[in-house]
A and B are shown apart, each in its own frame.
Chain A
Amino acid sequence: MEKKLLALIEQAKELNVSYSDIRFIRDEYERIAVKNDQVEEVAGGESEGIGIRVLVDGAWGFYATNQLDEEGLKMCLEKAYDIARNGGKISEVNVEIEEIAPQKGSYSTDCKIDPFTVSKDKKIQLLLECTKIMMKVQGVKIAKGSLISVKENRCFASTDGTYVEQNIVKCGGGIQAMAIRGDDVQMRSYPAAFDGDFSASGWEFIEDIDLVSNSQKTAQEAVALLEAEECPHDVMDLILGSSHLALQIHESLGHPAELDRVLGHEISLAGGSFLSIDKVDNFKYGSVHVNINSDPTLYGGMGSYGWDDEGVPAKRAKLVDKGMFVNYLSSRESAPIINKKSTGAMRVTTFNRPPIIRMTNVNLEPGDWTLEDLIKDTKKGIYMETTKSWSIDELRLNFQFGCQIAWLIEDGKITKMVKNPLYSGTTPEFWANCDAIVNKDRWRLWGIMNCGKGEPMQTAHVGHGCSLARFKNVQIGVKK
């Protein structure tokens, strides 16, 4: 592929483009899902193709195809060029991008057991064992489990003189128990909501999350929720469990810190951001306990890579430092606008999508509390776990999230389970009220498979590392 891509780069240069990058991506996936005692899905797929981006007279053009013969590649370059050239006629602003040094090399996931080498039969039996345990718990009506494996081969060349190759392996999975009585539908998931938890590593990750040993507890909690009282509507202290806190970070810091949103490029679809450019180094995002970074170099991160999709090497970047907002997730086009260097966050999900700014692994650094001490220190509070619903406004200020389960905390002790917990708030106020973060012993890097953004829609894989955290005086339930 290297020869083909470099030859295309030469052809692009002959067209007098000011910049071009070309990526070949081959993806492979496998999904196995069971429901109760049935195998619901044994599916797989692969796709490959090439995407070409050119900058001509200050305007972008992008075209992609799965036709990889000489004719297809030529057509792809010509179409990308034609689109850019036509675009330049109506644009008054010339796009310029940050110069970077040519990159050479390769990057591979540190994977002990390739998940594609584990037999489908073993995967099915693992999931059926989980659903069998869950269905044995009286009151469970639906038990589900799924495992997903992904392989990506990415070759990238640019007119900077860059050529890099990346081979990434990802896998993960989860289980769910659903208890239904009349109109009351209660669900518990392990280790996280939706399809579970994911990691850029091998089958060893699936063994580590130990779905079987957690099946009974998952099912029992779903049934217990049917008997639980409704979550109260009140203002109290909120402790968020790690898997849901990952989503809180994702929605209220990750997305608003995407510089393309700030510049208005997403306003018509996903929305803008309250973190306007004047807020860099000048805005108290949260309390002094809040330190958030973007780190695509982490082992196992779903947002980890060697280079982003415009050839910028992966690097750690501080986004929030002791509560102050200090930087965005950015690209070679957007970073110079705020006089900074790209944080290397331009990513594509597959060959036929253009690169856009995405989260990498966006992480909340651990504090020094133990969970036990945090609960003891809480007079009137609630501890919520596992995402159930989420909604946030287009500037990422006003949010309302629901969790699958919660426990009331009274005078430093967990007293009872409650169902249908919801909380709402305003982003900077909420994070300013973060007064305690649990230590690194409970810090975990979560993997999310379904971060939707862009038009056409791109569903990206991202990571969020965090432990648990407490937020003071939060509106619990719906304000009346």
Chain B
Amino acid sequence: MDKFVKLAKTLSKYALTNIPEGYQAQVMVTNTETETFRFAKNQVTQNASDTNIYLHITVNFEGKEGVFGTNSLSESSIKKAVEKAVESCKFSLKDEEFAGFAFPYELDLEPRNFSIAKPEQIYEKIGIIFKIAKKENVDIYGSISNEKTMLYIENTNKLQSWDCGDLNKIVIISEVETGGTGYSGRGYVNIEDLDVEPLTYESIQKARVPFIDKEIELGDHKVILESAAAATLMNVLAFSSFSAATYDENRSFMSGHLGEKPFPNSVNITDDAYHNLYRSLRIDFEGNRKSKINIVESGVLKNVVHNIRTAKKMNTETTGHALPPPQKEPFPLDVMMIEGNSSMEDMIKSVDKGIYITRFHYIGLVDEKKTTITGMTRNGTFLIENGEIVGALTDLRFTDDITRILENVVKVEDTVRNIPGFLWGANIAPGILTGKFKITGSKPRG
């Protein structure tokens, strides 16, 4: 990290010394290292690794903004990048809502120093998975991926802020001869601590549940959403509802409803970059330290997240949720649902007739304001009868409002899991049992 910070300071100096007088500017330098190893039918099919350093310069003159990014890092290239940003700024119009860049503060973060996993460490884990697959006579698909990001922000207010984080995840899908598939997946912090054996068996166990030939009626059902499915709902709400920008523009279901209590006490949603299940960046892309924000507390709508811009407009403080420029809207990258007090076993036992859903596929946002989504279930959808899983179902289509699903939450699992997601950031949730979940179709078998 020290080497990166030293380099980033040098690159920032190249940029900031070329800023014309009277301009404000922010430099953002990122260094990403990624590794993605994918496997299918017990063979490694792809391994891709890279390292890349990128510099973003944002300039602002009397409210007019220009942005340019480059990974050509010579002094002359950075000078040209600054010139391009300044040129863009000249053509821009005054942005009345521009609220300036961040000011210096005491950055009291615990230093981090870690390396991305070595290829041989990843292959070792994949090798264990393959051995189990062979022993159990199943086909296994999946990936192990690691992404380390170092971030440095400096601006003309003399702010210098930096941090590093990573996002490491494993996905395992087992497939058996009947066509049954099962999913398991986790985000993890250190590859040394990643125990792939129980995860592999978790996916195999799901795949082996025999199919049951029962038609599922369309309409409302009691449903248990496993952590992966519940975390997906959180991701959609992060996009559609939890930002001050969607709130302010009346695009969020929360708009005008802060302080109201639409959900039961067991629904608690937070944005927490400091959770111990993963290592998020603890500063945002304006350089401000991220605050932990309670978005929904005991069912009450409490807060939305801000960047400097929305905070000024709504007369409050930034919560440290700015995205990289030129994005103007804040975003909660570390949204998670908090655990409740029911074990998964008790949740299943409490259902007389219902459906257990492992995860979703291809969620489409049908109505942003109403939080209506549609999607399919995937890799482990089961029928529950009299408190037991009695068979596997074909994948089901659902179309429902996330708010309605949460309004009808009956139980929340006592354990949260970090689940691999599509977005950079948290994907942490417990399982939930909801009394209403609308099934609107099913996939034919075969």
Contacts and interface: CB of A to CB of B under 8 A. Distances in A.
Which of A44, A84, A478 has the most CB atoms of chain B within a 10 A radius of its CB? Answer: A44
Interface in B29-72: 34, 36-38, 40-54, 56, 64-72
A61 B141 CA distance: 18
B38 A265 contact: yes
Interface stretch (B192-200, B264-272, B338-346, B370-378): B370-378
Contacts of B288: none
A90 B370 contact: no
Given A391-B374, A479-B441, A456 B48 contact: yes
Given A38-B96, A83-B119, A48 B47 contact: no
Interface in A357-406: 388-395, 397-398, 400-402
Q: Which DSSP category, helix, strand, loop or mixed, fits chain B's interface?
A: strand
Contacts of A64: 48-52
Contact of A265 (B45, B64, B172, B251): B45
B325 A43 contact: yes
Interface stretch (B85-93, B273-281, B297-305): B85-93
A46 B72 contact: yes
A79 interface: yes
Contact of B361 (A38, A49, A271, A390): A271
B71 A400 contact: no
A363 B397 CA distance: 28
Which of A31, A45, A265 has the most CB atoms of chain B within a 10 A radius of its CB? Answer: A45
Contacts of B375: 391
A80 B45 CA distance: 14
Instruction: Categorize the interface residue count of chain B.
Output: 35 or more
A112 interface: no
Contact of B376 (A48, A93, A394): A394
A183 B370 CA distance: 7
Which of A63, A353, A426 has the most CB atoms of chain B within a 10 A radius of its CB? Answer: A63
Contacts of B72: 46, 48, 66
A91 B39 CA distance: 10
Interface in A70-122: 79, 82-84, 86-87, 89-93, 119-121
A269 B369 contact: no
A375 B47 CA distance: 51
A183 B254 CA distance: 11
A61 to B, nearest CB: 6
A271 B399 CA distance: 20
Contacts of B47: 60-62, 83-84, 87
A167 B439 CA distance: 49
Contacts, number: 235
B46 A65 contact: no
A7 interface: no
Given A39-B95, A44-B67, A398-B441, A63 B50 contact: yes
A121 B92 CA distance: 8
A424 B364 CA distance: 13
Nearest to B370: A183
Contacts of A86: 119-120, 123
A389 B366 contact: yes
A391 B364 contact: yes
Interface string A20-47: 0000000000010000011111111111
B93 A354 contact: no
A327 B37 CA distance: 28
A130 to B, nearest CB: 15
A43 B326 CA distance: 7
Contact of A354 (B48, B326, B397): B48
Interface string B305-332: 0000000000000000000011010000
Contact of B70 (A47, A426, A456): A47
Contact of A45 (B41, B49, B69): B69
Interface string B376-419: 10100000000000000001010100000000000000000000
A267 interface: yes
B395 to A, nearest CB: 6
B54 A393 contact: no
B67 A185 contact: no
Contacts of B44: 59-60, 87, 90-91
A267 B182 CA distance: 11
Nearest to A90: B127
A39 B368 CA distance: 24
A397 B443 contact: yes
Contacts of A389: 364-366, 374
Q: Which 6 A-B pairs have the closest CB atoms?
A: A45-B69, A391-B364, A64-B50, A352-B50, A120-B91, A43-B67
24 contacts: A39-B93, A42-B326, A43-B67, A43-B69, A44-B85, A45-B68, A46-B81, A61-B47, A63-B50, A64-B49, A66-B53, A87-B37, A87-B47, A183-B369, A271-B378, A352-B52, A390-B362, A390-B364, A391-B363, A392-B376, A398-B397, A400-B399, A424-B397, A455-B143
Given A39-B95, A393-B443, 6 more contacts: A38-B97, A90-B126, A185-B251, A268-B143, A391-B376, A393-B376
